[in-house]
Amino acid sequence: MRAVRWHGKKDVRVDNVPDPEIVNPRDAIIRVTSTAICGSDLHLYDGMIPSMQAGDILGHEFMGEVVALGKGVTNLRIGDRVVVPFTIACGQCFFCEKTLTSLCDNSNPADNQDIAEAMMGHSPSGLFGYSHMLGGYAGGQAELVRVPFADTGCFKVPAHLTDDQVLFLSDILPTGWMAAENAEIEKGDTVAVWGAGPVGQFAIRSAFLLGAERVIAIDHRPGRLALAAEAGAETIDFEDVDVMAALAETTGGNGPDRCIDAVGMEAHGLAIDNIQDRAKQAIGIGTDRPHVLRQAIVACRKGGTISMPGVYGGLLDNLPMGAFVNKGLTLKTGQTHVHRYMQPLLERIEAGDIKPDVIISHRLSLSEAPGAYDDFLNKQDEFTKVVMQP
Ligand SMILES: [Zn+2]
Ligand SMILES: [Zn+2]
């Protein structure tokens, strides 16, 4: 089969590789009908995530048709059309029973858990196509993919909904929703969202559905800000105005009640702290650029909540913990517990509350992946979301 493989920093190729096979009784093989490139894939493309190996198959947002099943899977049939969560979860461990599926204890194989435990103390769940530290699983930017724990990991979708409408249940729609839920929004709140990429867009829409009165989107790409405005958000272009002053002014000096960091470890912009972080990265003594998190802590109103769906990878310098503590802020984070949100969000899609396909900017074939990665990284205003049909 053909698959999109990582060969090194900014080196992604479409290669012929052996078809995946059933390895365990709870596996399924899916023939992929649609797969997307995620903003978090750009951290891999940029060489920011440790424990990638040349030849790893990328992709964690995908859906398709079941073409083979292990003997242990009794709730699926060949031919079922399914969306697959990017977090791999056994469905049976302490964490899965609490629906904390991105923290599953059983989906990251032991050898890889050692790396994760050395870095983080404990291992989170395995992820598709996202480094050996997180399982080393082949991803879904391919014609076929093996889905472990398929009985909990394959979510059947109704025929009347198109791939475009349901594909993003695999990651970014639940991620945007959980970001808004984690922000602990109360009716009438003002919510600031840094980063108007796909996750930010869904966080904005989810924040309104969860009771926000005002949502303020912060980015520097006009197209993305325009998409945020279409959803009812006010916008701040950080290249034109001072974000901190603008947020203070528009909230009567109080600051936003809730702040969502949908940017993560690779902040853009020429703020002094961000330039310092870039310099540390360049000489190998820094991992992340947490400019947005610093800004959110200082901007947030006293007693407010910061929700952080953006991905961070390592050790973060110079966080204003004095402000964080003395303002009594709450910080909520985590990889998304995708399984928990698929059914309720499917119902939201069916009801027309959320239209996920508004963010799709490009539909390409799998063979166009190398160019698509480059364009998604370098022309982010134009390339909001790339969907590929293998
Ligand atoms: Zn993703
Ligand atoms: Zn589990």
Q: pLDDT tens-digit profile of 55-101?
A: 999 999 999 999 999 999 999 999 999 999 999 999 999 999 999 99
**How does pLDDT run across 215-271, given as a tens digit for each residue?**
999 999 999 999 999 999 999 999 999 999 999 999 999 999 999 999 876 677 777
Q: What are the residues facing 236 on neighbouring strands? A: 218
SS3 108: coil
SS3 147: strand
Rounded to the nearest whole angstrom, what is the distance from the C-alpha of residue 250 to the centroid of ligand 1? 32
Rounded to the nearest whole angstrom, what is the distance from the C-alpha of residue 346 to the centroid of ligand 2? 23
Distances (CA, A) of 386 to 90, 168, 357: 29, 11, 11
Rounded to the nearest whole angstrom, what is the distance from the C-alpha of residue 108 to the centroid of ligand 2? 10
Rounded to the nearest whole angstrom, what is the distance from the C-alpha of residue 73 to the centroid of ligand 2? 16
Rounded to the nearest whole angstrom, what is the distance from the C-alpha of residue 214 to the centroid of ligand 1? 26
Rounded to the nearest whole angstrom, what is the distance from the C-alpha of residue 175 to the centroid of ligand 1? 8
On the CB side of 13, how many CA atoms lie within 13 Å of its CA?
9
Q: What is the pLDDT of residue 266?
A: 66
Q: Which ligand is nearest to the CA of 167?
A: 1
Q: What is the pLDDT of residue 144?
A: 98
Q: Which CATH superfamily is domain 173-333 in?
A: NAD(P)-binding Rossmann-like Domain (3.40.50.720)
Rounded to the nearest whole angstrom, what is the distance from the C-alpha of residue 91 to the centroid of ligand 2? 5
Rounded to the nearest whole angstrom, what is the distance from the C-alpha of residue 97 to the centroid of ligand 2? 7
Rounded to the nearest whole angstrom, what is the distance from the C-alpha of residue 385 to the centroid of ligand 1? 11
In this structure, how many other beta carbons lie within 10 angstroms of the beta carbon of residue 187?
8
Q: Which ligand is nearest to the CA of 198?
A: 1
Rounded to the nearest whole angstrom, what is the distance from the C-alpha of residue 323 to the centroid of ligand 1? 31
Q: Which ligand is nearest to the CA of 88?
A: 2
Q: What is the pLDDT of residue 119?
A: 82
Rounded to the nearest whole angstrom, what is the distance from the C-alpha of residue 26 to the centroid of ligand 2? 13
Rounded to the nearest whole angstrom, what is the distance from the C-alpha of residue 48 to the centroid of ligand 2? 27
Rounded to the nearest whole angstrom, what is the distance from the C-alpha of residue 67 to the centroid of ligand 1? 24
Rounded to the nearest whole angstrom, what is the distance from the C-alpha of residue 252 to the centroid of ligand 1? 36
Residue ranges of the chain with per-residue pLDDT less than 70:
265-266, 287, 313
Q: What is the pLDDT of residue 32?
A: 98
Rounded to the nearest whole angstrom, what is the distance from the C-alpha of residue 69 to the centroid of ligand 2? 20
Rounded to the nearest whole angstrom, what is the distance from the C-alpha of residue 355 to the centroid of ligand 2? 31
Rounded to the nearest whole angstrom, what is the distance from the C-alpha of residue 331 to the centroid of ligand 2? 24
CB 155 within 8 A of CB 83: yes
Give the chain's count of helices (H) and strands (E). 14, 18
Q: Which ligand is nearest to the CA of 42?
A: 1
Question: Where exactly are the structural domains of the chain?
Answer: 2-171+336-388, 173-333
Q: What is the pLDDT of residue 126?
A: 95
Rounded to the nearest whole angstrom, what is the distance from the C-alpha of residue 84 to the centroid of ligand 1? 12
Rounded to the nearest whole angstrom, what is the distance from the C-alpha of residue 155 to the centroid of ligand 1? 17
Q: Which ligand is nearest to the CA of 43?
A: 1
272-282 and 291-299 are packed helices; what angle lies between their axes, rounded to 10 degrees? 150
Q: How far apart are CA 196 and CA 30, in angstroms?
A: 31
Rounded to the nearest whole angstrom, what is the distance from the C-alpha of residue 123 to the centroid of ligand 2? 12
Q: Which ligand is nearest to the CA of 202?
A: 1
CB 212 within 8 A of CB 189: yes
Q: Which ligand is nearest to the CA of 41?
A: 1
Distances (CA, A) of 78 to 28, 221, 332: 9, 44, 39
CB 10 within 8 A of CB 40: no
CB-based neighbours (< 5 A) of ligand 1, an ion: 38, 40, 171
Rounded to the nearest whole angstrom, what is the distance from the C-alpha of residue 97 to the centroid of ligand 1? 24
Rounded to the nearest whole angstrom, what is the distance from the C-alpha of residue 60 to the centroid of ligand 2? 18
User: 2-171+336-388 domain in CATH 3.90.180.10?
Assistant: yes
Rounded to the nearest whole angstrom, what is the distance from the C-alpha of residue 36 to the centroid of ligand 2? 25
CB 295 within 8 A of CB 324: no
The H-assigned helical ranges of the chain are 39-45, 94-97, 110-120, 150-153, 163-166, 172-182, 198-209, 222-230, 243-250, 272-282, 291-299, 321-326, 338-351, 369-378
Q: How far apart are CA 145 and CA 66, in angstroms?
A: 10
Q: How far apart are CA 274 and CA 268, in angstroms?
A: 8
Q: What is the pLDDT of residue 113?
A: 76
